Structure 1
Amino acid sequence: MTHCGCSPPYSNGWRRNRRAWARARRLIERGFDALRERIGRLADAAIRARHAVLGAVLLVLIGSLGYFAGGHIGSEAMPDIEGDVLEARLLFPQGTPLARTQAVAAQVEAAMRQLDAELSPAQPGGAPLVEAIQTRFNQHPGARETGPQVATVMVDLLAAEARTAWG
């Protein structure tokens, strides 16, 4: 007895199903042969029209480079941020009211002030961990859009050399 209901290859059931397996194998081989023929015909056509194919490839390449150079694709994989500055870049869907953006920015600021209150006593000389908080609305360096739906909250921290480890 097996778990899937099929018989092991050494039983009599295997011999009965051999024709079904052979038929399935022929069907799969026919499918691969047809696919190989289609790809072969496509390759032959591409070779016959090699100049047109080369032109199309170059057109796509130049178009892709132009799209990238035109600023339609963001190129800021890892933004260049100083080690003593935290940035929270807020980007909401277009049409988000400024009041909603301000409320979320206020939450970020409140969280940073709470973090400052918790971690400042552990800093050398009791120096404040958070030196300054700036919120800029209508500005988001990586978003490439403006409006009431974008904001950046920047937090200046105590210098890395002067602060203790988190926690």
Structure 2
Amino acid sequence: MRILRNILFLSFSIIMLSSCNPIGEKLAEISLEGDGIATVDNINLKKGDVISIWTKVIEKDDSYTSKSGIRYNIECNGKSILFDSLNVNITEHVINSKKLDDSYIQSSSEKDSTVYYTMHQYETESKKFTAPIDGKYSFDFKPKRNQGSSFQDTKLAVILRKP
């Protein structure tokens, strides 16, 4: 009887652990285009709830994401409570990393040619935010360029997850 109980406990534990999402439930994913502001509104949080802010990056292998970042503002019940910025460099916690091959046709007066390149896509955990009070939260994100950089070869998105 004791062995059967231990086997059932072990089986239940394995099922529970395998059903857990180690990076958390995705609350929202928003693309950042140009210099515009992207917003996620009306996220109900209780005091102490944690939100992980992840950055999704798709870039040409030869581009430099260190030249870009993201400014963000977090509001609760219509009042700004945190204004800061994210660095989109690869950190120690990277998921969903993959390489994507792509190409385009380059035209010239002499002839057309196909240019091949590789895109690198990954998600990285950038920040954690802990709600200081109960309320409805809004998250505003805006891409930030450093001098001489461009988003031509880089696409950014922000993913909010609740661990």
TM-score, normalized by the shorter chain, greater than 0.5: no
Question: Which of 1 and 2 has greater Rg?
Answer: 1
More strand by share: 2
* Alignment TM-score, normalising by the size of structure 1: 0.29
Q: Which has the higher contact order (CA 8 A, sep 6+)?
A: 2
More helix by share: 1
